[in-house]
A = this chain, B = another copy of it.
Amino acid sequence: MRELKIFSGSANRPLAEAICESLNIELSRIVLNTFPDGEIYCKVDEDVRGRDVFLIQPTCPPVNFHLMQLLIMIDSCTRASAARITTVIPYFGYARQDRKDEGRVPITAKLVANLITRAGADRVLAMDLHAAQIQGFFDVPVDHLYAAPVLNDYFLKRNLVGDNIVVVSPDEGSIKRASGHMKRLGGSLAIVDKRRNNALEVKHEHIIGGPIRGRAALIFDDMISTAGSIRGAAELLHEAGAIEVHVAATHGVLCGPAIKNIQAAPIASVVITDSIPLAEQQQIPEIKVQSVAHLLAEAIKRIHHDQSVSAIFGR
């Protein structure tokens, strides 16, 4: 069996360390600096020749820096003769740019997939991709994990299940996700029917389905960016009689006014995973971080040992 080596980019070193702890191995050494002109310096500090290398790097903000750092790490390992390079991308930036909705725009998610492959990655391990079709943007094998069980656990432990709750999809595109959670947690289903005015602003309208009144509302999404739309949804749900509103999402991007929006909204808790690290100013009591380290660790172990990963699929 070829030796397993796990390296972390600078995007989420705590997650990488937690994964290694879960696997009971040392995180391998790599030097990652930035020159005064902003160029990235990379030196892999352990021999990777013939090794089975995993590079852990969510491409979270600053996305262009983290993506480029990942590509440079791949190039280093390729040229250093790694036997196999699996890029572990718990959060895949640019995933929402996955189609051309108007003329003369890019499909940046596909571009990123092409760049990762061109740099020399042999495989990808991703989690809760914004659209499942992004797997098809790659010709190399992609293992796709779901954080849903980790999020469900939070609510199961707190007995937020069955008739106590209403599972809410914050928009039309997330109904399937909400349905999935409802299958596990029970409750009724509601959808926030919103109209998008432009790419950045959203105007909420009303709620379809329910019932809401007297229940805890659990909003599920794949990621929280500015928290603008969940703030609106929470307000709508609150007005509709929800006794408390919880939000759960795999990826806590939490950019721009996100923290302000969360604090201003009638939201009891925001449950996210550690796919993206929280900055210090983001560590507010409402935000409850659940770790996916053991999930990723298990997947890495199975990939390394040529064992089925489907078995730990979250669905």
Chain A interfacial positions (CB closer than 8 Å to B):
35-45, 47-51, 61-65, 67-69, 71-73, 75-81, 83, 93-94, 96-111, 114-115, 118-120, 123, 131-137, 139, 141-144, 172-173, 175-176, 179, 189, 191, 193, 199-200, 208-209, 225-226, 253, 255-257, 303, 306-310, 313, 315
CA distance A72 to B134 in the complex (A): 17
CA distance A103 to B77 in the complex (A): 10
Which of A39, A40, A173: most chain B Cβ within 10 A?
Answer: A39
Known: A64-B64, A68-B64, A99-B132. A104 touches B37 (CB 8 A): no
Question: Is B110's CB under 8 angstroms from A136's CB?
Answer: yes
Question: Is A38's CB under 8 angstroms from B255's CB?
Answer: yes
Among B139, B193, B310, which residue has its beta carbon within 8 angstroms of that of A189? B193
Q: Please give, as numbers and ranges, the residues of chain B lying within 8 Å of A143 by CB-CB distance.
A: 81
CA distance A22 to B311 in the complex (A): 32
CA distance A110 to B113 in the complex (A): 14
CA distance A94 to B256 in the complex (A): 30
Question: Is A40's CB under 8 angstroms from B108's CB?
Answer: yes
Q: Please give, as numbers and ranges, the residues of chain B lying within 8 Å of A132 by CB-CB distance.
A: 98-101
Among B108, B307, B315, which residue has its beta carbon within 8 angstroms of that of A47? B307
A23 to chain B, nearest CB (A): 18
Known: A104-B76, A111-B75. A37 touches B253 (CB 8 A): yes
When C-beta atoms are compared, the residue in chain B nearest to A223 turns out to be B37
- Copies of this chain assembled into the complex: 6
Q: Please give, as numbers and ranges, the residues of chain B lying within 8 Å of A97 by CB-CB distance.
A: 39
Question: Is A114's CB under 8 angstroms from B119's CB?
Answer: yes
Among B38, B93, B131, B136, which residue has its beta carbon within 8 angstroms of that of A39? B93
Among B37, B110, B176, which residue has its beta carbon within 8 angstroms of that of A63? B37
Among B36, B65, B105, B193, which residue has its beta carbon within 8 angstroms of that of A42? B105
CA distance A53 to B173 in the complex (A): 36
Question: Is B226's CB under 8 angstroms from A49's CB?
Answer: no
A82 to chain B, nearest CB (A): 9
When C-beta atoms are compared, the residue in chain B nearest to A315 turns out to be B101
Q: Known pairs A103-B309, A208-B208. 20 more at Cβ < 8 A?
A: A36-B200, A37-B61, A38-B61, A38-B64, A42-B105, A44-B104, A64-B64, A64-B67, A64-B69, A65-B65, A72-B106, A72-B108, A75-B107, A79-B104, A103-B310, A107-B135, A133-B133, A172-B172, A173-B176, A208-B209
A309 to chain B, nearest CB (A): 7
Known: A172-B179, A313-B103. A64 touches B40 (CB 8 A): yes
CA distance A105 to B83 in the complex (A): 16
Which of A83, A103, A309: most chain B Cβ within 10 A?
Answer: A103
Question: Is A136's CB under 8 angstroms from B64's CB?
Answer: no
